[in-house]
Amino acid sequence: MPTEVALLESHALRSEQMGRVEALDKVKSLVMLPDGIHLRTEEVARYFEVSTAAVRRLTDRHQQELSSNEMRLLRGAELQSFHSDMLSLWAVEELGSYPQAATRLRLFTRRTVLNIAMLLRDSDIARSVRTHLLDAEEDLRASYVSLERRVTRIEGCLAGVGSALQELGPVLGRMSQRLDVIDRKADVTHQVIGALSVRLTDVSQDVVRLDARLGELARLLREVGGVKRAG
């Protein structure tokens, strides 16, 4: 597990935490500009309960890293355009005057403020944010360990099932062979029964013909008997 010192010193470790901006509001509420996106140096200093000079010194030392995490420095036309947007929002939300910077304005986002929290040493708020990040990291690691154990148990169960299936395989093979033999015998039996059915049909026809001949013979005998009585 990374330590607070490692977080302060390692750019790579800080980069791993940059998506977890929810940690800021869990420690203290951020006061944003009317657009709900940006903060000035003054708002950042109030959040961390340090001087604006301390924030400026830190941003000067880590300008490249903070710029990669959405810190901006506005000048000229870009600054005037931003002021115009903020004035329209400020008039609605604050019913007051929006404080303008004379020549330039440094802007921060939640992502930048989180970055500062991992760099600012002399702030109890920053330390609390780092502690929250590290505790959450530990909880996440514990969850991974628990999940890994559950997966290991499942794999063990599946291994047992695999062994059982391997033992069952030959049995199923033998059963399949026996069923094939039964199917073949059933086919032969069906053929024999079919042949018997044909033969019985022939016998029935023979019986009908024999019955007709017997009936004819009986008729002839009756006729003969009648002639004898008449003579």
Kindly write down the DSSP assignment for every residue of 35-82, as one continuous string. TSS-EEHHHHHHHHTS-HHHHHHHHHHTHHHHHTTT-EEEEHHHHHHH
Mean pLDDT by 10 residues, the chain (231 residues): 86 94 95 94 97 97 97 94 85 54 88 98 96 81 52 66 68 78 74 69 71 78 73 62
The CA-based diameter of the chain, rounded to the nearest angstrom, is 160
Residue 32 is predicted with a pLDDT of: 94
What is the pLDDT at residue 95?
44
Contact 7, 130 (CB under 8 A): yes
Could you tell me which of 103, 199, 160, 50 has the C-alpha nearest to residue 59?
50
What pLDDT is stored for residue 151 in this prediction?
Answer: 55
The shares of helix, strand and coil residues in the chain, as percent rounded to the nearest 5, are 75, 5, 20
Contact 79, 101 (CB under 8 A): yes
C-alpha 121/C-alpha 165 separation (Å) is 61
Question: Do 22 and 9 meet the contact criterion of CB atoms below 8 Å apart?
Answer: no
Q: For residue 107, what is the DSSP state?
A: E
Kind of pairing between the strands at 39-40 and 72-75: unpaired
**DSSP strands (E only) in the chain:** 39-40, 72-75, 104-108
Q: Give the Cα-Cα-Cα angle 103, 109, 115 (nearest 5 degrees).
A: 110
Residue 64 is predicted with a pLDDT of: 97
pTM confidence score: 0.59
pLDDT of 148: 58
